[in-house]
Amino acid sequence: MGQLLGLVLLSFAITSVFMVPFIDFLFHLKRRFEKTPTSIKRSETPIHDKLMKSDIGTPSGGGILIILILVFLTVGYGFFSSFVDKVSLKIILFTLISFGLLGLIDDIKLIQTKRVGKFLGLGRKKMLLIQSLLSVSIGGMLYFLAGINNIYILGLGNFVIGGWYIILASFVIISFANAYNISDGLDGLSAGLLLICLFAFLALASTSLDLTLASFIGIWIGSLFSFLYFNIWPARIFLGDAGSLAFGATLAVVGLLTGKVLAVAIIGGMFVVIVFSSLLQIISKKIFGRKILPVSPIHMCFKYIGWEEPKIVTRFWLAQGLFAILGLWLAFLSR
């Protein structure tokens, strides 16, 4: 426990030292390279973009710094610790780095030009294709290298599903990567929700004596504490797509490594609610030709009807806390 707390504090201290210079660096890049494009396509989400207009001047890309610190400290921990599960560590780092690089393309695009919408670097179809390839690769690593091939359903028992586990893991990873990306819309929302999820998974990893997973989560928590200080309203920096895609996918892998697939969906309940609200909006427009919500995802809907941003974020944090407690309770019942 002492080592774990030390990693949390070390991660927090290092991130705090580099965060302010990194914010200044992002502001410098934004002033130097940002330009107005010669032609701007009509936005597909005009209400959403109008609600986000006040955030245009805030630099995006904080996730890049956190990823670098996470990789550096995790590799250092793996090198100096004699009780480390190198397979789990490799899977986690591969997920973090690969999805981070994927999101970095869009972050670079944001620095270079004023944009409307996400994924202008690659486009939505190419982005989803690459996400699918990466998720299948990670699912294969979990299956072949980590030897995970089963799911446990409370009340029904344990089910060995063999190679189908790769498909299941891929779906979970893609879902959480995009759910986290969608949730990154209000100051402090996604980082705060993630922090609550990580505390729940830290409890699961600690009680199962998975020191490798617990140590990585501890490093992540310390870095997020520092980032959240600068990300709460009014935000001085945003996570960016490098961070949101990487963190969503890595959160899914952390949950999968605990062996509690259903607990992943419950502990990350607010991410599920957020992505489900966007999915309902898309289905409603495609099938019925009209929107079920004035704007999606749901946290932007609350902002649209007049809720203050800090109120939305705080209440979502509270709801996430209840989801985390419920997920932990169900996970401990299944032991």
What confidence tens digit (pLDDT) does each residue in 185-210 have? 899 999 999 999 999 999 999 988 89
d(CA 15, CA 9): 10
d(CA 136, CA 17): 37
Q: Both tokens of residue 284?
A: 């409603």
Confidence label for 156 from pLDDT (cuts 50, 70 and 90): confident
Share of the chain above pLDDT 70, in %: 87
- The per-type count for the chain, helices as H runs and strands as E runs, is 13, 2
Angle between helices 86-112 and 164-183 (to 10 degrees): 40
Question: Given this model, what pLDDT does residue 44 score?
Answer: 55
Mean pLDDT calculated for residue range 315-324: 97
Is the whole-model pTM more than 0.85? yes
| Greater model confidence, 122 or 324 | 324
d(CA 229, CA 235): 9
Question: Given this model, what pLDDT does residue 217 score?
Answer: 97
pLDDT at 52 over 80: no
d(CA 130, CA 122): 10
d(CA 301, CA 168): 31
d(CA 307, CA 312): 7
Q: Is the dihedral of CA 251, 117, 281, 234 positive or negative?
A: positive
β strands within 161-226, DSSP E: none
Question: In the predicted model, what is the mean pLDDT of the chain?
Answer: 87
Report which of 319, 96, 93, 331 is spatially closest to residue 205, judged by C-alpha positions: 331
Mean pLDDT calculated for residue range 25-36: 75
